[in-house]
Amino acid sequence: MKLFFPENYKTKLDLKQTEKAIKFVKDFFQENLSAELRLRRVTAPLFVLKGTGINDDLNGIERAVTFAVREMNDAEAEVVHSLAKWKRLMLGQYGIPAGYGIYTDMNAIRADEELTNIHSLYVDQWDWEKVLTSHQRNLEYLKKVVSQIYSVILRTEFMVYENYPAIKPLLPEEIHFVHSEELAQRFPNLTTKEREHEITKEFGAVFIMGIGGVLSNGEKHDGRAPDYDDWTTENSDGYKGLNGDILIWNPILQQSLEISSMGIRVDKEALLRQLAIAGVSERKDLLFHKKLLKGELPLSIGGGIGQSRLCMYLLRKAHIGEVQASLWPEEMIQQCAEHNIFMV
């Protein structure tokens, strides 16, 4: 088990205060995110039918939790990994106009997740999606939306301080933008995670762009499914990719903490290009992909924002199990308790 135990760690909030603070953070953040990005809340599924192409593949190796549905002739359903494709379908179904969008509470099970201070079997995030015009499919608009989301994080951090004065604000006023290719060139001898730690420690909050494509060193910064984020379109900065991750420096764990994965979604050309690169062109015959290629789905930008991770950071917790109910190995629970880390 890969665990980090901060020296002399002591939580700033007891269990009752923590539960109250979690509700405050979630309520305040989602209301402000909705207003900032002009998003309408919708209800989301916990599972979808297997074989429709609606579920996300993440890095392409994670197994979805599946079960047979007796009333549907034992058709297989699978618990969602995220809702990137489902949200885009809903934008079209609801007839959302450009400039507006939707958000929802996404709950998932990732059975293959390696359990650490920041990784759990249970995933809870705000999944959001917004309709774009063709003129907004560019790097400048991506950066604008990232800055809007970051402003909501800043606002929430300040309100936590207002309610719990022992928790001082730490985030910088602005988020720093950097491309994954720039990181590869600046830190050629570091792993991708080590690069993330270095750049986030330096700036406090960063948005790392262009995740999914192969870099000049022949490696990927990280994996991305080929059919939602656009990681191959060329940008005004001379690199490729219209997507990225929001990371903030976690002083408790002394490492970067990914809060959000997001990006402008593929159009017809990017979808076909990325399916070919990934060697899965046969997916174009799946339900979601056929609709996109027929022009039945709107252009969009979207992403997910980790609820428990945001709470963990804002409440200065050392383990994600302090802010969410999940399953943990008994050995991990005992080790954490020995270091004043107590699971919910």
Just list the catalytic residues. 56, 110, 125, 245, 258, 261
3-state secondary structure of 131: strand
Residue with tokens 């074989």: 51
Work out the number of other CB atoms within 10 angstroms of the CB of residue 95: 8
- Whether the CB-CB separation of 205 and 224 falls below 8 Å is answered with no
223 by Cβ neighbours in 10 Å (0-12 / 13-18 / 19+) ranks as: middle
Q: Say which amino acid occupies 74.
A: D
Rg (CA), the chain: 20
12-to-60, 156, 315 alpha-carbon distances in Å: 39, 17, 8
133-to-69, 100, 285, 291 alpha-carbon distances in Å: 39, 11, 26, 18
Which neighbouring-strand residues pair with 169?
none
- CA pair distance 1, 97, nearest whole angstrom: 47
Q: Say which amino acid occupies 65.
A: V
- CA pair distance 305, 296, nearest whole angstrom: 27
Q: Say which amino acid occupies 337.
A: A
How far does CA 169 lie from the centroid of its chain?
Answer: 22
- CA pair distance 56, 237, nearest whole angstrom: 28
Angle at 305 between CA 228 and CA 58, to 5 degrees: 35
Residue with tokens 């046969």: 282
